[in-house]
Amino acid sequence: MYLCIVRSISDPISTLQQREVVVLVAMVVAATTSTPTFSSTALTNSCNIIQQLQKYYGSDPISTLQQREVARNGAARLQKALEINMKIMKDQHQVELTSLQSAHEQQLVELEMRLKHEAETDKRATTEQHKLELENIQTQAENLVRDTHNVCILNILHMLGEDFFALESDDDLSEMKSQHDSEITTVTHEYESKLEVLKSEFTHQLEALKKSYESRINNVTKHYEDIKEHLNEKNVQLHNDYQDMMRRNAREGSGMSTPTSQGSPGTMLSHKYLEQEVDSLRAVMELRNSEINQLRMHNNLMEKQLEEIPKAQLTINSLQQKIENLEAIINLKADYEKDLAEKHNVLLRKLDQESRAKKRLSMNNEELAFRLSQTLNNVDISVDPSTTTTNVLITTTTSTSSPPPKYTNGVRPKSMIATITTTQHSTTTATVQQLPPTSPSNKSTNRLSGPPPTSAKPSGIKLRRPKDDSKQGSDGEERRPQMKPSDV
């Protein structure tokens, strides 16, 4: 385009023709500078106008050098305007590229989210299906085992009920026991064989499920690998195209020397788009690879969990049995503790009663001891051997140190009265002493402890004198009178 304009202006023309050319160049420059966005159609139109002017006027000599300079200045201005418009076009292309990049990134993010969601839904669906199938198989096996066990028990009970009344002796009982044991063994063998068959079926079903799950995973991995290969091929193809375009651009050079260089901006844009597509495809490939690795890890974890399920069920059953046993033991201990608590309460009540009884007995003993001490202090018996008369002196003294005991409701208990009477009899017999012969000098001293016996005799005590005071024994000795508890 620049060459067409320069050639059309630099050719020799007349003065009038030069003026018209200058006017046309000025119009083109004004048109290009007035519009902020310059299109390729405007450039082609301006080039066509200049070529038509060149053909119309031909090659006439120029009159002056000034007109040539004016034409050159106009061409320079037009070239500057074209450069400005090219910059504007580049800016627009960059804006469009950024918008396309953002849209492409959004699409990639949406694709990633969609793929993740689909993978999660597939995983959940497969895991739920596996769980449901396992639960159904377990329930079927348990129901079969229960039904067979119940049927066997009913058959055995029916057989026992029919044959029990036909027994007549111990031999028949022993035979029936042996038959019963043999039947139990046969039933247990059958039950174990059925369990083994069910276990084998269950294992076959698990293996089939594992194989189906592995086949699904292999299909998914193959699909991802196919996509990966396709993207790699596309990436290689785009890279080759990009290299070819770069070689063409290198051959063409700057792209402004020939008229065929008008398509260079489009090729540059196509190269940029191709580079962006290659980068986006690489990002997608990396995401797919990461997802495939995650799926493989999840598959391995699921396989491990499936292998651990039967062991966990066995441990659960054993723990449930232990829990039941412990609950029974706890209940027994609770009953035993209740019995011990009741016995403890009964023993505490008995202990309280015994302690109260002991307190009462100790109080009675103290009261009796006090009474005995008073009676011993208050009773004094003396005997005169010279006159062979027994003088019993009973002196009543009041003790100031300890007051008499108080009785409840002012009544002495019967047991205390009996003990006091017996102690009085024993003390009177024990306190009778043989006094020395009295003389007129010590008569007063023998009676210092109290008044004379006639005046000191209490109203409630009677003194008896023995019938034979001066009787002698066979050996000539004088017999002493003996006091009895009834004499006091």
Contact between 117 and 67 under an 8 Å Cβ cutoff? The reply is no
Residue 362: predicted pLDDT: 94
Q: Of all helices (H) and strands (E), which one includes residue 197?
A: helix 170-252
Place of tokens 């003993």: 365
Q: What backbone phi and psi angles, to 5 degrees, belong to 456?
A: -90, 5
Helix axes 15-34, 40-57, angle to 10 degrees: 180
Q: Of all helices (H) and strands (E), which one includes residue 434?
A: strand 433-434
- Give dist(CA 472, CA 479) in Å, integer: 5
Structural domain range at position 448: 379-395+415-465+482-488
Has residue 383 been placed in a domain? yes
- Give dist(CA 464, CA 471) in Å, integer: 17
Residue 267: both structure tokens together: 């090729």
| CB proximity list for 485: less than 8 A, separation 6 or greater | 425, 426, 428, 429
Tell me the CA distances in angstroms from 178 to 170, 171, 172, 181, 410, one per residue in order. Answer: 12, 11, 10, 5, 87
Has residue 207 been placed in a domain? no
- For residues 137, 122, 219, 225, the Cα torsion angle rounded to the nearest 10 degrees is -150
Q: Of all helices (H) and strands (E), which one includes residue 382?
A: strand 382-383
Residue 383 DSSP label: E
Has residue 303 been placed in a domain? no
Stated pTM of the model:
0.24
- Give dist(CA 126, CA 295) in Å, integer: 13
Has residue 390 been placed in a domain? yes
Has residue 61 been placed in a domain? no
**How do residues 350-394 score in pLDDT, each as one tens digit?**
999 999 999 999 999 999 999 999 998 887 544 344 444 334 333
Has residue 453 been placed in a domain? yes
| CB proximity list for 467: less than 8 A, separation 6 or greater | none
Per-residue pLDDT of the chain (488 residues; tens, 9 = 90+): 444 444 444 444 444 445 555 555 555 544 444 443 444 555 555 556 555 555 544 444 444 566 667 767 777 777 777 778 778 877 887 788 778 777 777 877 787 788 778 878 877 887 787 778 778 887 887 787 778 777 777 777 666 655 555 544 556 667 777 777 788 788 778 878 887 888 888 788 888 887 887 888 888 878 878 887 887 787 788 778 777 877 777 776 544 444 444 444 555 566 666 777 778 888 888 888 888 888 888 888 888 888 888 888 888 888 888 888 888 899 898 888 889 999 999 999 999 999 999 999 999 999 999 999 999 888 754 434 444 433 433 333 333 344 444 444 444 444 444 444 444 444 444 333 344 444 444 444 344 344 444 444 444 434 444 444 444 444 444 444 444 444 43
Domain tally for the chain? 1
- Give dist(CA 82, CA 327) in Å, integer: 97
Has residue 154 been placed in a domain? no
- Give dist(CA 131, CA 414) in Å, integer: 92
Residue 34: predicted pLDDT: 43
- Give dist(CA 332, CA 327) in Å, integer: 9
Residue 288: predicted pLDDT: 82
Residue 369: predicted pLDDT: 93
Has residue 455 been placed in a domain? yes
Q: Is 2 exposed, middle or buried (0-12, 13-18, 19+ CB in 10 A)?
A: middle
